[in-house]
Structure 1
Amino acid sequence: MVTCVVKNWQGEAVGETTLALPVANEKTAAHIVHRALVRQLANARQGTASTKTRAEVRGGGRKPWRQKGTGRARAGSIRSPLWRGGGVIFGPKPRDYSQKMNRKERRLALRTALQSRVEDLVVVQDFTAEFSRPKTKDLVTALSRWDVDLGKRVVLLTDEFNENLYLSGRNIANLTMMGATNLNIHDLLAADKIVATEAAIAKITEVYID
């Protein structure tokens, strides 16, 4: 269990909240988080890269010159992999890179990753009411009041989707916004700062504990 300071819209400390997530054993934590990260990156691959073998390259049906007597090396086709314009040896073919991981393992990895980033976690009160209309400048100002440097990668966690907040933050280069129920291991580990509302922390605790 970790105690976090809660800040209000003005950046003042107004209370505390606890982050108590069941995490992996210290000996296996790095392994399960690594597996979850590799799985996410592998599943993001399209697997559509493709090259043609000598059997698939157009042309090359006729023997370019006779077998003997020319003084040149033997050649049976101009589409040999040794020739320019020929086939490719052991080149990529469309394949499925996806990996499987049990649901409980995935959730355990997410909880472990989030708990490990507690030193970089900033908890704030719910502020969606401040955005009656989209205003990027207001969000940037608020983040600076919360001591968040937008020159680095920042993840903003909210309990539910808010269109005005989304429109306010989508044009901020280093800011990634996501809902508490849509966490992913890569963004949690890659972020330099994680900003989460109290409601988001409560929903994470509710949803990701089996």
Structure 2
Amino acid sequence: MWNLARAAWNLGRARHLPLSNALHSPFQERVLSLISYRGLSTLETSANEGVISPELLGKKVLRPDRIIGQYEDLVTRVTNFHNEDKGFMVLAGDVFDVPIRKDIVHKVVRWQLAKRQQGTHSTKTISEVSGTGRKPYNQKGTGRARHGTLRGPQFRGGATMHGPKPRSHAIKLQKKVRRLGLKIALSARTGEGKLLVFEDLDIPSHKTKNIVNYISQMENTKKVLLVDGGPINDNLKFATGNLHYVNVLPSIGLNVYSILQHDTLVMTQDAVNRIVERMHTPINR
């Protein structure tokens, strides 16, 4: 993988060169091609701002063909709701460029759905059904079948035998599998070019029309998931409350099922850094 510090140093030199000379360097063309790759970043942007000259930042370079799952660090543009250039960011390859495995995603989704199932269903047993405990008629002499109670399951309004009772539907899944599922979901959105990194999610007011206008400007977007690093801003929470196709989550609540339900994932720089830190934290056994 290219050394980012060396890339920054070379691009710093390129600032003082004419644009024509800067684009003749193969190394600089390689870095520019990475930077122009759609929507990919785990380093703090503040440390890298101002390294690339404004002339090169806006330069359009063809997207290089690559295979997903090579564990390569990826470079992405940092923008905002107005699609303004705010620098660039590096996405850790071991989080945003892992091989896609559908079986792992399936296991994690099943675990999530089973864990959130309420399990409050309940039926009444013969001791819980309302009714008398008297024997309905004599044991012999009536010609009918013998019965000791009218609360049995064979009578109308009687008990339910072996029916459901309140219980937990949760299943066990190893932490490393759950973590891998989140990495795969993030890598899938990254490989599709549907991961956008924003500087922040600040909006001027709580009006819903602001979010509607911003989302309408995004290409091929039907359902958007906005992920912020810390607590959700009140303006953003109120603005998206009435939109069924826009949902907001803090980084601590980001999960596989929510990512799969939305075709576009928008994350702030803070959210990306927190997710990477969370993925790199050793698992307590």
- Report the alpha carbon displacement of residue 46 of structure 1 after superposing the two structures with TM: 2.2
Match of 2:274 among 196, 203, 209: 203
Residue type of the alignment partner of 1:158? D
- Report the alpha carbon displacement of residue 178 of structure 1 after superposing the two structures with TM: 0.7
Mapped partners of 1:7, 1:103: distance in 2 = 33
Deviations 1:147-195 (A, max 9, x none): 254xx43211122332222221122112110122321121012212222
- Report the alpha carbon displacement of residue 18 of structure 1 after superposing the two structures with TM: 4.2
Matching of residues 74-85 of structure 1 within 5 Å: 74-85=146-157
Find out whether 1:156 has 2:230 as its counterpart. Answer: no
Find out whether 1:139 has 2:211 as its counterpart. Answer: yes
Mapped partners of 1:192, 1:123: distance in 2 = 11
Q: SS of 2:183's equivalent? A: helix
Question: Residue 123 of structure 1 contacts residue 198 of structure 1 at CA under 8 Å; is this kept in 2?
Answer: no
Matching of residues 78-117 of structure 1 within 5 Å: 78-117=150-189
- Report the alpha carbon displacement of residue 56 of structure 1 after superposing the two structures with TM: 2.2
Task: Mark the runs of 5 or more structure 2 residues left unpaired by the alignment.
Answer: 1-71
Question: Residue 99 of structure 2 contacts residue 184 of structure 2 at CA under 8 Å; is this kept in 1?
Answer: no
Mapped partners of 1:153, 1:89: distance in 2 = 45
Aligned position for 2:65: none
- Report the alpha carbon displacement of residue 196 of structure 1 after superposing the two structures with TM: 2.2
Task: Mark the runs of 5 or more structure 1 residues left unpaired by the alignment.
Answer: none
4+ runs deviating over 6 angstroms: none
Return closer, same or farther for 1:9/1:49 CA change in 2, 3 Å cut-off.
closer
Find out whether 1:126 has 2:196 as its counterpart. Answer: no
Find out whether 1:193 has 2:264 as its counterpart. Answer: yes
Q: SS of 2:271's equivalent? A: helix
Q: Share of identical aligned residues, percent?
A: 38
Residue type of the alignment partner of 2:274? K
Mapped partners of 2:179, 2:146: distance in 1 = 60
Match of 1:67 among 106, 116, 139: 139
Instruction: Return the index of the structure with the highest Cα Rg.
Output: 2
Return closer, same or farther for 1:125/1:195 CA change in 2, 3 Å cut-off.
closer
Paired residues, number: 206
Residue type of the alignment partner of 1:153? K
Residue type of the alignment partner of 2:218? W
Question: Residue 120 of structure 1 contacts residue 194 of structure 1 at CA under 8 Å; is this kept in 2?
Answer: no
Mapped partners of 2:268, 2:75: distance in 1 = 14
Mapped partners of 1:181, 1:67: distance in 2 = 66
Mapped partners of 1:72, 1:177: distance in 2 = 65
Question: Residue 140 of structure 2 contacts residue 146 of structure 2 at CA under 8 Å; is this kept in 1?
Answer: yes
The structure carrying a bigger helix percent of its residues is 2
Find out whether 1:42 has 2:114 as its counterpart. Answer: yes
The structure carrying a bigger strand percent of its residues is 1
Structure with greater contact order relative to length (CA < 8 Å, sep ≥ 6):
1
